[in-house]
Amino acid sequence: MNFRDRNRSPEEPEINFIPLIDVLLVILIFLMITTTYSKYTELQINLPTADAEKQLERPNEINVAVSSLARYSINGQAVAFRDVNGLSNDLKAAATGKKDPVIVISADAQAPHQSVIHVMQAAQLAGLGQVTFTTQATPGK
C-alpha cells in the first residue's frame, strides 16, 4: 500500500543553518579569546657592539674572513670558492687536530649575505656546530 499522494511533489530536504552559525560563532569567540595580538611593524634588529677588550686567541678557533667581494680566507690563507662542499672540505682540513673547533666568521659590512650563509652551510656540512661572529668596537669608545 502506497499512501503517498502522487500529485503532490516530494518535499525538498531543508538545511538548517542555525546550528552551523552557532558553532562558527563559538569557534570565532574561542579564537578571539585565545589569540594574542601583537603588533609587528618591521623587524627591529639591535646589532651587537663590542665594548669589551679583545679576547686572546684560542687554539681551537678557525677564523673565516669574508671580503666585500665574496672572497674567503681561512686562518689567513685565501681559499678559492668553488661550492659549499669545497668550502666544507677546506674547513675540515683546517679543523684537523683541533678539539671542538669554533668557526669565527669575520664578514665585511658590504659582504653579500649569501657569502656568510655559504660559510655557515659549509660548517654544518663539515660537522662543525659552533659558529660565532666578530664585531667591531663602537666608534668613539
pLDDT in tens, 45-104: 454 555 656 666 677 889 898 888 888 989 888 888 889 999 999 999 998 888 889 998
Is the pTM for the entire model greater than 0.85?
A: no
Q: What is the pLDDT of residues 15-54, one digit of tens each?
A: 888 999 999 999 999 888 887 665 544 444 454 555 656 6
Annotated domain spans of the chain? 61-133
Q: What is the pLDDT of residues 2-18, one digit of tens each?
A: 565 566 666 777 888 89
Q: What is the pLDDT of residue 56?
A: 61
Angle between helix 113-125 and 84-95 (nearest 10): 60
Paired with 86 in beta bridges are: none
Question: Cα dihedral sign for 68, 113, 47, 50?
Answer: negative
AA identity, residue 45: I
Which CATH number does the domain 61-133 belong to among 3.30.420.270, 3.40.50.10800, 3.40.50.300, 3.90.1560.10?
Answer: 3.30.420.270
